[in-house]
Structure 1
Amino acid sequence: MTPAATLPSQLNTTAILLVLALGTFILGLSEFSMMPMLPLISETFASTPSQSGYAISAYAIGVVVGAPILMLTTANMKKRHALVIFLTLMFIANGLSAMATSLEQLIVFRFLSGLPHGAYFGAAILLAADIAPQDKRASYISKVFMGLTIATIVGVPIVTLVGQNLSWRYCLAGASALALVALVCVYVVVPKIENSQPSNLINEFGVLKNKLVWSILGIVIIGFGGVFCIYTYIADTILVVTETPAYTISIAMVMFGIGCTLGNYVLGKAADRAALNTTGIALISMIIFSLAYVSASHNIWLLYAVIFFIGCSLGLATLIQTLLMDVSPNGHAMIGALVQCAFNIANAIGPWVGGMVIAQGVLPNETGYVAAVLFTGGLIMWLLSYLQMNNKNAQLEQCPA
């Protein structure tokens, strides 16, 4: 925590959170808008949906590679300066993606676009935690994530319509332009706040020895792959199985985004001690909704409802981030990087596995079965985390005062 004397005023704190959320809005736009655009990208480059899906996986791999490298190399840098660097990279890489002349180029540029994603999220979350009162830390972090969820409600549906009527390239060009705006806002609004915990490589890498950290990350890597497995192929499901007009894809994106926002708000208010229990309940619910997705895809209204509830699961990101910071008092820069790596490994696994299944000739709505398997894997990791947490608490209670 940053000493109270150095904290900005409440007005500036609000402004800082808004600017940080603008950055996560851009990241949400850049990441999630590509998924409903897959049919358009396939048409542009004369590729199959599974081949175009590599552009999504490339972005996720970029996050996994870039997050730890950029977070650790900028760990002792003021967060303001680090955020400016990350936004500059977002501006350049998204602009290059918009100008790609082949699928191979797009895949490379999407990889570059992913490099600053996790680092920005990690730095923004750490800054929000630094300026937050201890009892409002989860709430402040959830406000940073709110930009991402608003992107799924407003940004993705709008750019989906733009892509359908103009070109998917405008979507990435828009993300590039917004990154430039956010860069200026960060430079103007975010003060030069000293880091609350100067980085120490021993402490940062010491996080890797914590078995509980890996168990919790396993929930994300495996379980959240189910979310992305379904989300990536929603557009194909609607066009091929539901057989409704293309504009219903945007409505489905809105329903997913509303679910994300509601889930983020509700779970952001949850107490840290209830985080694991809430996660377990959510994973069980997601298994049920994933199976329901297969049948619901034959009716657009039922499909909207199921997509809404699946979207709610992304609200767990706030709880998992806060929980990891609690179980690992040191190495928060590494924690921030690992969380984003975990989510984007899930984002690589989901579309990849879903694409493999579709390539075998099954209908895209049957990715719901694949998602159910992934959520079940996440539930197994949750059970392992739950047992480890209870065992750790029991050992603490047995220690003499």
Structure 2
Amino acid sequence: MVAMAIGGFGIGTGEFVIMGLLPEVAQDIGITIPQAGHVISAYALGVVIGAPLLAVLAAGWPRRRLLVALMIFYALGNFASAMAPSYLTLNLLRFVAGLPHGTYFGVAALVAASLVEPWRRAQAVGWVMLGLTTATLVGVPIATWLGEVFGWRAAFALVGVISVLAAVMVQREVPDQPADHRASPMRELGALRRKQVWLTLGIGAIGLGGLFSVFSYIKPTLIEVAGMNASLVPAVLALFGCGMIVGNLAGSRLADKALIPTIGGLLVWAFVVLGAFVFTAHHPWLAAINVFLVGTIVAMGPTLQIRLMDVAGDAQTLAAALNHSAFNMANALGAWLGGLSIAAGMGYPSTGWVGALLAVAGLGVFAWSVSAARKEKAAAA
């Protein structure tokens, strides 16, 4: 699990480090900062497309070999990004680097769940996801510092090195699991015929959007609304990373005890925490505490991962990988709607209202899922 978490650490660092290096990228290749931001979208698009595509194409692969191949793929994508000569090339290479992201986490979650007792599955998935959440606290600050001192290309080179290390560790430590002889692309695509798979993905894509609605604009909110000194912002971002780690561990434990109530409870928690941000955003210390609490919402990640495993039937790989496509769709949706509310003149704190409304919408999808499951169970009986 530690070996697979190192891979998650590398992927998390590679995904988020660019957000702190946009000025350096823009200056180096002669573009504006908003244009540099397009490389974030290119990566997210790669995740959304790559997760189902690679999961289906590699359905018959032994899982350890697939994990190693995905990490090598990710390493090459980041090494190539570090050498990108132009704006268009960098966007293309970030898209390519994003392709293995979702499939890696999906397959790693399946492997982790298979290594423990059934009642500890969510905790096992949480340990793998811990690499991603730890990256926001440790990996991203280190890579950002490296990028500021030696140039943004050094940050991507570091991610490539971490990915190579992860590939070696996975090959050495992860048990070899033979491929399911019945696995095929068509069987994996069968997951898309299951209503509960789509509803679970909808809970993540909508319900998690509020986290990104607030976090995408957290720096200007803290400085312009809360009146916080810019030098303190990194400390608040570290609090967000701490919140993600706490949420990941606590949420996975709760999910092992009662999965469905945990999902519903986390959506209610998201509504409360995000709604509170509207009011705490005006006070530096209250805002900092609230940012920590917003980070805990990431607990929905491992809980929804387990739910997808339960409802996917024999199409486990595709369903598990799609969880991270939903995660990135939540990122895009939350940031877009938060930007709309700010552009409409409602101010930076309004991103909290956007997040609260997305949590309510996620609760609506969750209620639909629970109701549909009850009807399916009654019909079967």
- Distance in 2, matches of 1:311 and 1:35, equals 17
**What RMSD, in angstroms, separates the aligned Cα atoms of the two structures?**
2.6
- Distance in 2, matches of 1:364 and 1:39, equals 22
The answer to whether residue 335 in structure 2 is matched with residue 351 in structure 1 is yes
The answer to whether residue 237 in structure 2 is matched with residue 253 in structure 1 is yes
CA contact (8 A) 1:157 1:251 kept: no
The answer to whether residue 2 in structure 2 is matched with residue 26 in structure 1 is no
Q: Which amino acid aligns with 1:266?
A: A
Hey, what does 2:122 align to over in structure 1? 138
CA contact (8 A) 2:239 2:288 kept: yes
Shift of 1:374: 2.2
3-state SS, counterpart of residue 270 of structure 1: helix
With 33-42 and 90-99 compared, the bigger mean Cα shift is at 33-42
Shift of 1:136: 2.4
- Distance in 2, matches of 1:57 and 1:376, equals 26
Q: Among residues 225, 248, 268, which one is paired with 1:264 in the alignment? A: 248
Hey, what does 1:184 align to over in structure 2? 168
- Distance in 2, matches of 1:273 and 1:389, equals 19
Shift of 1:158: 3.3
Q: Any residues of structure 2 matched to 1:67-106 within 5 Å, and which?
A: 67-106=51-90
Does the C-alpha gap of structure 1 residues 299 and 351 become closer, same or farther in structure 2, counting only changes over 3 Å?
A: same
The answer to whether residue 88 in structure 2 is matched with residue 108 in structure 1 is no
The answer to whether residue 278 in structure 2 is matched with residue 321 in structure 1 is no
Q: Which amino acid aligns with 1:89?
A: F
Shift of 1:350: 2.4
Shift of 1:195: 3.2
The answer to whether residue 149 in structure 2 is matched with residue 149 in structure 1 is no
Does the C-alpha gap of structure 1 residues 348 and 154 become closer, same or farther in structure 2, counting only changes over 3 Å?
A: same
Does the C-alpha gap of structure 1 residues 210 and 80 become closer, same or farther in structure 2, counting only changes over 3 Å?
A: same
Q: Among residues 339, 347, 360, which one is paired with 2:323 in the alignment? A: 339
- Distance in 2, matches of 1:248 and 1:104, equals 35
Does the C-alpha gap of structure 1 residues 60 and 131 become closer, same or farther in structure 2, counting only changes over 3 Å?
A: same
Shift of 1:259: 1.2
Shift of 1:299: 2.7
Shift of 1:239: 4.0
Percent of aligned pairs sharing the same letter: 36
Hey, what does 2:200 align to over in structure 1? 216
Q: Which amino acid aligns with 1:186?
A: V
Q: Which amino acid aligns with 1:215?
A: L
Q: How many pairs are equivalent? A: 380
Hey, what does 1:57 align to over in structure 2? 41
Does the C-alpha gap of structure 1 residues 161 and 248 become closer, same or farther in structure 2, counting only changes over 3 Å?
A: farther
TM-score (norm 2): 0.89
- Distance in 2, matches of 1:233 and 1:339, equals 24
Q: Deviations over 1:85-118 (max 9, x none)?
A: 2112211222233344554443322211210101
Hey, what does 2:376 align to over in structure 1? 392
3-state SS, counterpart of residue 263 of structure 1: helix
- Distance in 2, matches of 1:148 and 1:136, equals 20
Shift of 1:185: 1.9
3-state SS, counterpart of residue 228 of structure 2: coil
CA contact (8 A) 1:23 1:147 kept: yes
Shift of 1:359: 5.1
Q: Which amino acid aligns with 1:47?
A: T
Shift of 1:279: 1.9
Shift of 1:36: 4.1
- Distance in 2, matches of 1:280 and 1:197, equals 37
TM-score (norm 1): 0.85
Q: Among residues 143, 149, 171, which one is paired with 1:159 in the alignment? A: 143
- Distance in 2, matches of 1:200 and 1:240, equals 53
- Distance in 2, matches of 1:110 and 1:240, equals 31
Shift of 1:267: 1.6
The answer to whether residue 47 in structure 2 is matched with residue 47 in structure 1 is no
CA contact (8 A) 2:59 2:188 kept: no
> Where does structure 2 lack aligned partners over 5 or more consecutive residues?
none
CA contact (8 A) 2:204 2:300 kept: no
CA contact (8 A) 2:199 2:366 kept: yes
Q: Deviations over 1:4-30 (max 9, x none)?
A: xxxxxxxxxxxxx11100001111111
With 81-90 and 279-288 compared, the bigger mean Cα shift is at 279-288
> Where does structure 1 lack aligned partners over 5 or more consecutive residues?
1-16
Q: Among residues 305, 308, 314, which one is paired with 2:289 in the alignment? A: 305
Q: Deviations over 1:143-167 (max 9, x none)?
A: 1111112112222233344455654
3-state SS, counterpart of residue 100 of structure 2: helix
Hey, what does 1:204 align to over in structure 2? 188
Does the C-alpha gap of structure 1 residues 197 and 293 become closer, same or farther in structure 2, counting only changes over 3 Å?
A: farther
Does the C-alpha gap of structure 1 residues 230 and 336 become closer, same or farther in structure 2, counting only changes over 3 Å?
A: same
Q: Deviations over 1:17-53 (max 9, x none)?
A: 111000011111112233344465566655255x444
